[in-house]
Structure 1
């Protein structure tokens, strides 16, 4: 009986040893560059891909979009909207696409993906929202439950990375 349990345990351990690396490959094999977002209210960016490296920057903006430009084990070299680059642990990022309003002056958020549709509200540069979808040159974003369509050129995090 003990031999059967030990054999079953060893078989299960061998299967898990094979499955874990395979399942983690999916996230590791994602083609760079790609978009991601900051997962938590506070996330550290480091100068290298390990907790041994000093913290270069602390992001305090959940949902802030970042461009992942390199993958190294469980670390991602990211570029932020200001062009700064550094390493963030993959667990601190989410694949949910975010977008940040850029440019001068307010951005008009419209009811539909048409510049002549009704104006819903305006967003100042720096407003962060979840990117819902894009059609041609306009994208729909959700900022705290308020949605609207905005010119894609006014968003960093929309379009191809």
Structure 2
């Protein structure tokens, strides 16, 4: 009866799924209260590659939410489709990065470390950054949906 509710929403501007994860393209991104330059700047991100979730679209503007749940509007040109993730920002302890066998420990990554997502199989994601490249459990990353798969 309500099967259509399961269809992912499509953004009215981009035609891409909503919500979706992207990353900040620049290391200076103004976040505004509403979708125009007339709206006041609420804060400025200074962390390129930070993953954010797009929750709405309006013309050249995208409403984003970060890992702390903070929301605001940014110009779409400041966002990149490149997928990144934060290592469990909600946890206190570092998370284990393992080799392709999913067993051999390679490193421990502290909460909030940013890495580039290479691929995810729904359970594990390959993540790489400065001095690390390996696999981490998908549930310990912010920037990818539970069970999401991509290459």
TM range (shorter): 0.7 to 0.9
SS in 2 for 1:148: strand
Supply the distance in 1 between the matched residues of 2:38 and 2:18 (Cα, whole angstroms): 25
* Preserved contact between residue 97 and residue 109 of structure 2 (Cα < 8 Å): yes
Name the residue aligned to 2:112.
126
Q: 2:95 is matched with which residue: 107, 125, 132?
A: 107
Counterparts of 1:5-154 in structure 2, within 5 Å, are 28-102=14-88, 103-112=91-100, 114=102, 117-144=103-130, 146-154=132-140
Contact 2:13 2:59 in 1 (8 A): no
User: Which structure shows the bigger proportion of residues in strand conformation?
Assistant: 2
Separation of aligned partners in 2, 1:94 and 1:138: 23
Q: TM-score, normalised by structure 2?
A: 0.83
Distance in 2, Cα, partners of 1:129 & 1:54? 31
User: Gaps (5+ residues) in structure 2?
Assistant: 1-10
Give the deviation of 1:104 after TM superposition.
2.2
CA-to-aligned-CA distance 1:90-111 (integer Å, 9 cap, x gap): 0000000110011220011011
Deviation for aligned residue 1:113 = 5.6
RMSD: 1.9
Structure ID, larger Rg: 1
Secondary structure of the structure 2 residue equivalent to 1:130:
strand
Indicate conservation of the 8 Å contact 2:117/2:128, yes or no. Answer: yes
Q: Once superposed, which parts of structure 1, at least 4 consecutive aligned residues long, lie more than 6 Å away?
A: none
